[in-house]
Structure 1
């Protein structure tokens, strides 16, 4: 009986320690821009992105629902979901990767650059992504900001010829996460 209680206590402590090693947010933001000079802004933002960081090994994962992106123009949002992203068929984008040389004990309020390598899955396709993340500590939380560009053709996203000159083929993506 004593060993059973001890085993349960050890399992409880291990599960608690495991949770403590993870920081997460469900209110991260991803903004993308596919604007072309002299034409209407093509920009969407999603403020309900989930991101989890394992602080013991630097593994990171993020999930964004496609229908969570908002635009200034409602028609643009509709076209984004129905024609470009086919959000009913491909409802989410995910990223799974690792922050190289990540050591949570070395984080300070001063921002430091880290390299993130991983795989972005979007529109039924996968692509390796490498980006520089700016990471710092904010109280007990971790702030992470990163930017990268993707080619729409890498993800099989077709831009209709009628708007081909108004939408960039290379999309700039900005991610901001406050992990708690």
Structure 2
């Protein structure tokens, strides 16, 4: 029994958050900003394996313009039909015991599921640790077409073909 508890303490350490910050930017110069932020993403890091999972409710993204938020949920990502986006992946070469307050670069590879489609994503994230908190910061680009998200011709010149996604996850034990 003691062995099981010791194993769980040293090898099964999970860090998590329910207040992960996700942002996306799809703006084109000379047009209105197309950007949103979600401050309620959930994330779990299994520190012994470097496994990372992130889940965001699509209706959690907030825009500066309410009408844009409505169009995003109803016409683009179809939030009622596809209510969440998720990422499941691995931090390559991850060793929590070697982290410090100075962020180090790690390659993160996994699968992003959005709008019912799954695509492989690779990113270089900056990861640091202070006390019982691990911070993971990074970003990557996605294309709406890769996830069968159609941008109507009427607004296609106002929305970038590549959408920059950034994340800031502050995970605690």
Same fold judged by TM-score > 0.5? yes
In the alignment, does 2:106 pair up with 1:126? no
TM-score by length of 1: 0.91
Instruction: Specify which structure has the higher proportion of strand.
Output: 2
RMSD: 1.6
Unaligned runs of 5+ in 1: 1-8
Contact 2:12 2:48 (C-alpha < 8 Å) held by counterparts: no
The whole-number CA distance in structure 2 between the counterparts of 1:78 and 1:108 is 42
Q: Give the equivalent residue in structure 2 for 1:164.
A: 156
Instruction: Say if 1:72 and 1:100 are closer, same or farther in 2 by CA, change over 3 A.
Output: same
Question: Over residues 45-80 of structure 1, what are the superposed CA-to-partner deviations in whole Å (9 max), with x where a residue is unaligned?
Answer: 000000100000100000000000000000000000
Which of 1 and 2 has greater Rg? 1
Report the Cα offset of residue 17 of structure 1. Answer: 2.7
In the alignment, does 2:37 pair up with 1:45? yes
Alignment of 1:17-166 (within 5 A): 17=9, 21-166=13-158
Unaligned runs of 5+ in 2: none
The whole-number CA distance in structure 2 between the counterparts of 1:20 and 1:152 is 36
The whole-number CA distance in structure 1 between the counterparts of 2:11 and 2:71 is 40
TM-score by length of 2: 0.95
